[in-house]
Amino acid sequence: MRRLPPSLRPVMPLLLTTVMALGVSAPPAIAAGATVRLPVLKSQLADGAGCTGASGNVASAVPWEQQSLDLARTWQLGNGAGVTVAVVDTGVSQQAPALKGRVKAADGAGTDCVGHGSFVAGLIAAAPAKGVRFAGVAQGALVLGVRGTDDRGKATTTTVAAGIRAAVDAGVKVIEVSPALAQSSKALTSAVRHAAEHDALIVAAAVPDAPTAAKSSSAPPPQDYWPAAEAGVLSVLDVDVDGKRPDGAYTPRSARLAAPGDGVVGTGPKGKGHFIGSGASLAAGYVAGTAALLRAAHPDLTAAEIVRRLTTTAYPADVPRLDPYAALTSVRDVSTGVARAAAAEPVSLASDEADARATRRAALLAAGGGGIVLLVAWAAVVVPRGRARGWRPTRP
């Protein structure tokens, strides 16, 4: 299959949608199962709602986020074996087939009613399966499920602080934190400091996952969220297939990295089917998986050096975009900050709403490599959300 021109790759899902709407026969490569409807996975459950069940649909084509991150080429360099990644979230299901035998649980976090923690864990470490083109970034890594919320997915500074401490005390060196809270606390600051003292890298969502129903044309004013805003934490922002952020999305005052997180494919708490989800917590999963690859390939690097390597090898943009292959193959002396040293510091996004409108842009590296981009359908639409405005790609 010939590669698409870079200028056409970001709009490929829209082109496919148009083809189907007009009733035109798609080329064989597109017609062969490129479109699939996946259920949406929520980050929280309403009171009284039943637990998330299994999805009946499987992602049989390559998700756009795997192509944009060039994971097929990255997997030739390593799989994260020997590293454990903690997921501080709603728990991680030990029944998830894609993570079978590789999930440990802290304090009963081996069940996951919401399913969000299992989704994030799958982005980090899901094993490849026959007939499935989705897999985690660090397929050989282990996962430690840590409860950072209640059983409905609601988090507090107390639950997140306890989750971080549990991960650190278990000896984990990469900790993904999904909740993003509007305020900090002494306990949360102390837990982050505890991680730094034990050379554990915290990768945290820079903003909360916006509820699916809460959409508006204007974003709330930028503000800090914790623990992402704590010193030493690697804060991550989400972008979609076009390098944009959804209308009405939360905006942080600063962020260090951007990664795919809007309309991405992942696993559920049970069954072999897949879901689609959105949020900075999912982008943090991709970064945490890449950090696991680095800790496995370069066990001599400290957490701070891992952060520097991830940020200085990132694709240049308003908020540098994660580049796993470059992070693993870079021969620059990133420990001394020679390569784009400024990228190692948080990137200031905006100080007020007016500035946010002027600066809300991010880059998405055009999808590379062959294969079919997986086209997924939201509840009633096919085109990924957030196309109308904001965070347009910056071309170097």
- Cβ atoms within 10 A of the Cβ of 395, count? 10
- H helices of 32-80, in order, are 64-68, 71-74
Q: What is the dihedral of CA 15, 16, 17, 19, to 10 degrees?
A: 90
Output the CA–CA distances (angstroms, integers) from residue 288 to 86, 143, 174, in the order listed.
9, 11, 7
Q: Which two tokens stand for residue 184?
A: 């900090």
- Cβ atoms within 10 A of the Cβ of 280, count? 32
pLDDT at 244: 82
For the entire predicted model, the pTM comes to 0.80
Cα separation, 176 vs 224, whole angstroms: 18
pLDDT at 364: 33
Choose among 178, 170, 228: nearest CA to 200: 170
Phi and psi torsions of 12, nearest 5°: -60, -45
pLDDT at 249: 87
Cα separation, 254 vs 68, whole angstroms: 23
Output the CA–CA distances (angstroms, integers) from residue 225 to 154, 208, 323, 352, in the order listed.
15, 8, 24, 15
- H helices of the chain, in order, are 12-22, 28-31, 64-68, 71-74, 116-125, 157-169, 186-197, 280-297, 303-312, 324-329, 353-359
Three-state DSSP at 254 gives: strand
What is the DSSP secondary-structure string of 331-396?
Answer: -S-GGGTTTTGGGGSPEE--SSHHHHHHH-----PPP-SSS-EEEEE-SS-SSPS--SSS-PPPP-
- Cβ atoms within 10 A of the Cβ of 189, count? 16
Bond preceding residue 260 cis, omega within 30 of 0:
no
Q: Which domains does the chain have, with CATH numbers?
A: 9-377 (3.40.50.200)
Q: Which two tokens stand for residue 157?
A: 């500074």
pLDDT at 35: 53
pLDDT at 334: 43
Task: Give the dihedral sign, CA 328/329/335/341.
Answer: negative
**Mean pLDDT, contiguous 10-residue spans, the chain (396 residues):** 42 37 31 64 94 94 95 96 98 96 95 98 95 94 98 97 98 98 98 98 94 58 96 96 84 96 96 96 98 98 98 93 96 48 57 39 36 38 32 35
pLDDT at 37: 87
Cα separation, 361 vs 152, whole angstroms: 33
Cα separation, 204 vs 180, whole angstroms: 8
| DSSP letter assigned to residue 163 | H
| DSSP letter assigned to residue 298 | -
Cα separation, 214 vs 287, whole angstroms: 26
pLDDT at 187: 98
pLDDT at 211: 62
Give pLDDT tens digits for 90-109: 999 999 999 999 999 999 99
Give pLDDT tens digits for 248-287: 889 999 999 999 999 999 999 999 999 999 999 999 999 9
